[in-house]
Structure 1
Amino acid sequence: MPAKQTLPIHFEDYSAAAFERLVLAFHLRTERYRSIEWYGQVGSDLGRDILVVLDDDSVENGVSMCIQCANHRSLPARKAIRDMDKVQASPTRPARMRFVCGGSVSATTRDKIRAHATKTHLACEVWSGAEFEERLRRGAESLLRRFAEGVDFPDVPSALAGVVAGLDASSDEEVVRLLASLFDRPAFYTPFRNESSIPAFRQALDDTIRGLATGIRQTREGKDLPRIPSRHELRNQSARLAFAEIERGVAGLRARFERLVHSGDIRPCRDHCGNSDCPVYMLSAQAIDHMDEIRSRILDEVRRVYPTFGVRVAW
């Protein structure tokens, strides 16, 4: 058989607005978020093309992240630094920043951006065009196909979210990536002795089981997020059976959690301190060991299906 070659996507052939919509659609599809605002759509964005509040189990109000879209042949370090300074001076002042580029990013530029981010205490990452394309192929190939085939994305965020929700994953690899993303959350990788919110932990387990079984995702406040394919939609029988077993593992984790609560190994501090508003929970050594062991086994099973999945129970 003759060798087949996958040609790179030339993002620079598309308008800045089209590229920005693709970046927005990608994050709608792949991130767990509480809100996404498209500042670049209305101009005067103060260096904030897209502002996302990520749904983080360990942070009560989520984690804010600014996404700056740079569809240039190369990313100038001076522009990136200027955008970081604008973001730091903006009213929202996000904790994280992500540059998504359509072209190349030199090592020198990356080093300058990293140095400035460290100096200003801003967590920052840079994706070159090639890196963004690989992320699209791995986690949102259906979006990439639509984009590469010349189908315009809507220019209204609500309509774009509807398009993303209505797209079926185009390959089992994409479905596996989306299902694995359900486990990239603090409820699965935070050592249990450091768990900051036991009620949020319980809710995260329920959310994960629902996501695996139905593809339905919601924020902690109950707001619907774009649906992902469920485990039942996997074509590959081996992967389908593996995720069924993973779902049973999460259900077993939840059952063990409830037994530990019932036995008093996980108990609210207010039972002892007398403060009815005390948010602290007391954890026995047995509860810590059991929660960490079971979650580690679950993450090992996810890695067997999705070998590049890097989440582990650890800081």
Structure 2
Amino acid sequence: MPNVTVRPVHFEDFSGQEFERLVFGYHLWADWSDLAWYGQTGSDMGRDIIGIEPIDETSGRRTVIQCANRDDLPVAKAKRDMKGAANAPTGVPEAFKFVCRGAVSARRRDAIAKAAKALKIGHVTIWSGAEFEEHLRLRAEFLLRRFVDGVPFPDDGAGLQAFFSTFADIGDAEVLAQMAMPFERPAFWTPFHAESNLGAFRQAIEDTIGALSTGIWRSRDGELIRRIPSIRDIRDTGTRKAFEGIVRSLDNMRQLFKRRMQDGSIEHCQCGDPNCPTFILHGDVGTELDHARTAILDRVRAVIPNFHIRVE
């Protein structure tokens, strides 16, 4: 499998509305509720987006999101935005979130948090462009790909809501049955010492993370196999949180594989062909990866009734 370099996203190439649309779409996907996109109508009074941010299984807080598609976030602008939101008809929000294009220093974050406290805003979150991109890649990479590749998706909040509601009419039992399907592949049952193509294993893990997070299930070659429900289609909060943990565990295993490639425990064939499927395992790295994968499958079995996977 050829090495792929992941380059930073150039948010500066896109308009303010396009950036807001991406932020709105991400928070829909992240299971925020009662989202309203004020920024698309103009005169937002410091409230590009407002919604209920999930805190735990039973509670949330009303949060204003302000999108700063600019190189920096001056303290004066942040103060104006928070003051405008506090004086808006929706009242003082419980929390405020800035999603920025550029970097934000620790000193500036502290100053903005102090200003929020003076306005009786209880909590402030600030994402730099790099932090926003990291969250997108982990939870909603399909949105990022559409954004970067220019693939259109709905321009308005109602259209985005409908875009994410494909499986609204089926129950959790069917949702979970379909979400089990990406695990039915050799990458999840072949012992690592017998794996003939570790590059394909790595791709299978990435594809599974994508399928569970976005509902877009692709083959190794990138072809769409089918749309399936995703984490956000699970209605039961506890089950949804459990599946979010499974996705994090898959990502941890992906990172473990990457670290073992870097430290030489997994060594690519020296033939010079970047597509050569042959890898050499050193030490007990095969056992380490087997244990990590077994732990993930145990978590899946705990969530999906009657989940069975082939073992060879």
Q: TM-score, normalised by structure 2?
A: 0.56
Q: Give yes or no for the alignment of 1:121 onto 2:120.
A: yes
- Counterpart residue number, 2:263: none
Tell me whether 73-82 or 6-15 shows the greater mean CA deviation. 73-82
- Counterpart residue number, 1:245: 302
1:215 equivalent among 231, 234, 258: 234
Deviation of the 1:107 alpha carbon? 2.5
Q: Give yes or no for the alignment of 1:172 onto 2:191.
A: no
Cα distance in 2, alignment partners of residues 109 and 82 from structure 1: 15
- Counterpart residue number, 1:144: 144
Pair 1:172–1:58, CA change in 2 (3 A): closer
- Counterpart residue number, 2:103: 104
Give me the CA root mean square deviation. Answer: 3.6
1:174-224 Cα shifts (integer Å, max 9, x gaps): 466689xxxxxxxxxxxxxxxxxxxxxxxxxxxxxx997973469xxxxxx
Deviation of the 1:15 alpha carbon? 0.4
1:245-300 Cα shifts (integer Å, max 9, x gaps): 1457xxxxxxxxxxxxxxxxxxxxxxxxxxxxxxxxxxxxxxxxxxxxxxxxxxxx
- Counterpart residue number, 1:37: 36
Cα distance in 2, alignment partners of residues 57 and 8 from structure 1: 31
Deviation of the 1:77 alpha carbon? 1.5
Task: Please say if residues 213 and 230 of structure 2, whose CA atoms lie closer than 8 Å, have aligned partners that are also in contact.
Answer: no
- Counterpart residue number, 1:184: none
Structure 2 unmatched runs, 5+: 168-178, 180-205, 216-228, 251-292, 306-312
Task: Please say if residues 51 and 67 of structure 1, whose CA atoms lie closer than 8 Å, have aligned partners that are also in contact.
Answer: yes
Deviation of the 1:114 alpha carbon? 1.4
Matches within 5 A, 1:223-234: none
Structure 1 unmatched runs, 5+: 180-209, 219-227, 249-315
Say which SS state the counterpart of residue 164 (structure 2) adopts. Answer: helix
Cα distance in 2, alignment partners of residues 94 and 171 from structure 1: 38
Deviation of the 1:66 alpha carbon? 0.3
Q: Give yes or no for the alignment of 1:12 onto 2:4.
A: no
Cα distance in 2, alignment partners of residues 95 and 44 from structure 1: 21
Task: Please say if residues 52 and 65 of structure 1, whose CA atoms lie closer than 8 Å, have aligned partners that are also in contact.
Answer: yes
Say which SS state the counterpart of residue 51 (structure 2) adopts. Answer: strand
Pair 1:102–1:217, CA change in 2 (3 A): farther
Cα distance in 1, alignment partners of residues 73 and 101 from structure 2: 9
- Counterpart residue number, 2:53: 54
Task: Please say if residues 99 and 126 of structure 1, whose CA atoms lie closer than 8 Å, have aligned partners that are also in contact.
Answer: yes
Identity of aligned residues (%): 37
Say which SS state the counterpart of residue 145 (structure 1) adopts. Answer: helix
1:93-117 Cα shifts (integer Å, max 9, x gaps): 2101100011221223212111112
Cα distance in 1, alignment partners of residues 232 and 29 from structure 2: 18
The residue type paired with residue 45 of structure 2 is: L
The residue type paired with residue 31 of structure 1 is: D
Task: Please say if residues 92 and 120 of structure 2, whose CA atoms lie closer than 8 Å, have aligned partners that are also in contact.
Answer: no
Task: Please say if residues 86 and 93 of structure 2, whose CA atoms lie closer than 8 Å, have aligned partners that are also in contact.
Answer: yes
Aligned length: 203
Q: TM-score, normalised by structure 1?
A: 0.55
Matches within 5 A, 1:240-279: 240-246=297-303
Task: Please say if residues 30 and 178 of structure 1, whose CA atoms lie closer than 8 Å, have aligned partners that are also in contact.
Answer: no
Cα distance in 2, alignment partners of residues 171 and 90 from structure 1: 44
Deviation of the 1:147 alpha carbon? 1.1
Cα distance in 1, alignment partners of residues 4 and 105 from structure 2: 29
